[in-house]
Amino acid sequence: MPIKIQNDLPARVILEEENVFIMDETRARSQDIRPLEILILNLMPLKEDTETQLLRALSNTPLQVECTFMTMSTHESTHTSANHLNKFYVTFSDIKELRFDGMIITGAPVELMEFEEVNYWEELTQIMEWSKSHITSTLHLCWGAQAGLYYHYGIPKHLRGEKLSGIYLHRTIDRKVPLMRSFDDYFQCPHSRYTEVREEDILKHPELKILAASDEAGVFLLMSRDGRQIFMQGHPEYDRMTLNNEYHRDLSRGLNPAIPEHYYEHDDPFSVPPLVWRNMANTLYTNWLNFYVYQETPYLWVNTP
């Protein structure tokens, strides 16, 4: 089944060129199917890039998925046009009376700040609290995962000695958990961050379960045992060239970044890196949609506690 998006969302052209099955609003209205309603809180500055990445990741499922993009009302985006935001995005006040089957909270380039110093932190905490009663399962990505773990469980983030950037090998810890079905013993995934949540802090909370980790990158994937809250410190949704673009951006700014690890063949930053994590990403997002959203959410939210 397809993923449903607005008729003229820019990501549509890119995804159709990649042969991703897209259904626009006009065609969707002619089908008598109850789609999964997924709310995406996009905190990334380059919102159109993130839209494309997440829509691609959500498209490999037999379920029909309808996505609503949300932005923060207490933060002014300077990297995405106001016209794009006004046309394709909602704010919390627009949807706070609604219920959604699933939600994704993205990362954000604010990890060097304390959580309370982020200018939209109060609004974000309102959304995370609201998600407990209005969302079946929430998927938190990178800084969004660190923010969720801090808000829901009081788990701190720690500054790393240097930026973690590259493709890292991870081991599957428990494939009997539905989220990890069809995973290999080991898989690769991108990371790009300056901070981390540590295993010893997570283990203080028996209500959390670590599902995958890396010797180099640390904990990658964990969840609450009921599946309502899922946290990823990596970026399985990244495109082939995302780390490359980040590296060359920082290089042009004179930041002297390290070459992303295990990314380029022969560490040549002017080569096209191999794509070695797409199947893992498709499996992960499909498992989330199927086992933690579709299988758990009611067909109608009427009178649902």
Of the two residues 189 and 86, the one the predictor is more confident about is: 189
What is the structure's pLDDT at 32? Answer: 47
Determine the 3-state secondary structure of 146 from DSSP: helix
What is the structure's pLDDT at 252? Answer: 94
Structure confidence by residue, pLDDT tens digits, 1-29: 445 556 666 655 665 665 455 555 555 45
What is the structure's pLDDT at 28? Answer: 47
What is the structure's pLDDT at 275? Answer: 97
What is the structure's pLDDT at 17? Answer: 65
Of the two residues 214 and 1, the one the predictor is more confident about is: 214
pTM for this entry: 0.87
Mean pLDDT across 195-211: 97
Query: Is residue 75 among the annotated active site residues?
Result: no
Q: Following DSSP, what letter does each residue of 252-268 receive, concatenated?
A: HTT--PPPPBTTSGGG-
Chain centroid, CA 283 distance in Å: 14
What is the structure's pLDDT at 1? Answer: 42
Structure confidence by residue, pLDDT tens digits, 263-285: 999 999 999 999 999 999 999 99
Query: Is residue 248 among the annotated active site residues?
Result: no
Alpha helices in 8-142 (DSSP H): 11-17, 25-28, 47-58, 82-88, 92-95, 121-134
What is the structure's pLDDT at 6? Answer: 63
Q: What is the mean pLDDT of the chain?
A: 89
Residue 249 in marked binding region: yes
List 37, 66, 142, 189, catalytic entry: 142
For residues 281 and 60, what is the distance between their CA atoms, to the nearest angstrom? 10
Structure confidence by residue, pLDDT tens digits, 89-116: 999 999 999 999 999 999 999 999 999 9
Residue 302 has pLDDT above 70, yes or no: no
Query: Is residue 237 among the annotated active site residues?
Result: yes
Mean pLDDT across 223-246: 96
What percentage of the chain carries pLDDT values higher than 70? 86
Residue 192 in marked binding region: yes
Query: 36-50, 56-70, 173-187, 225-239 — which is least confidently predicted?
Result: 56-70
Residue 87 in marked binding region: no
